[in-house]
């Protein structure tokens, strides 16, 4: 099947998907809030399973949010670890206070850069601090 024929069949499916989800480049703050809620719902659906089919949409929606935030809510260039350290400081937390992401040893490895945050930990941190999961991606 050539590319022209594939596009002919894909466009109606794309239109139906886009109309049902409104997943598209973010237009304004209301759409940004909608996409943030969509990302959280997709993360809930995946339940921490990195192999879940929803993870493809997590990547797409996360990229759309990241693009919008870069233009409309620019932050200084910081890593997810620097963000976590900042939030811990602001909330007066120690490594042992972050049981939802693992033992004190796991938290120490994350904060030292020896280990990356996984999807379950990102979800837990976003809930704890009331921030978008994209904050830690």
Of the candidates 44, 23, 45, 43, the residue with the CA atom closest to the CA atom of residue 34? 23
Q: What is the pLDDT of residues 88-129, one digit of tens each?
A: 999 999 999 999 999 999 999 999 999 999 999 999 999 999
The answer, yes or no, to whether residue 5 has pLDDT greater than 80, is no
Q: How many residues does the chain have?
A: 137
Calculate helix-pair angle for 80-90, 119-129, nearest 10 degrees. 30
The helix (run of H) or strand (run of E) holding residue 11 is helix 3-21
Q: What is the pLDDT of residues 6-53, one digit of tens each?
A: 888 899 999 999 999 999 999 999 999 999 999 999 999 998 888 999
């Amino acid at each position: 099947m050539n590319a022209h024929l594939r596009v002919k069949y894909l466009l109606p499916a794309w239109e139906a998907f886009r109309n049902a989800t409104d997943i598209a480049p973010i237009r304004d703050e209301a759409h940004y809030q909608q996409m943030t809620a969509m990302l959280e719902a997709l993360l809930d659906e995946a339940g921490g399973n990195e192999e879940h089919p929803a993870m493809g949409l997590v990547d797409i929606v996360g990229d759309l949010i990241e693009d919008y935030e870069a233009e409309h809510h620019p932050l200084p260039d910081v890593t997810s670890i620097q963000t976590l350290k900042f939030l811990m400081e602001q909330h007066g937390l120690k490594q042992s206070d972050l049981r939802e992401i693992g033992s004190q040893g796991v938290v120490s490895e994350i904060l030292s850069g020896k280990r990356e945050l996984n999807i379950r930990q990102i979800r837990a941190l976003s809930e704890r601090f009331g921030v978008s999961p994209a904050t830690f991606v």
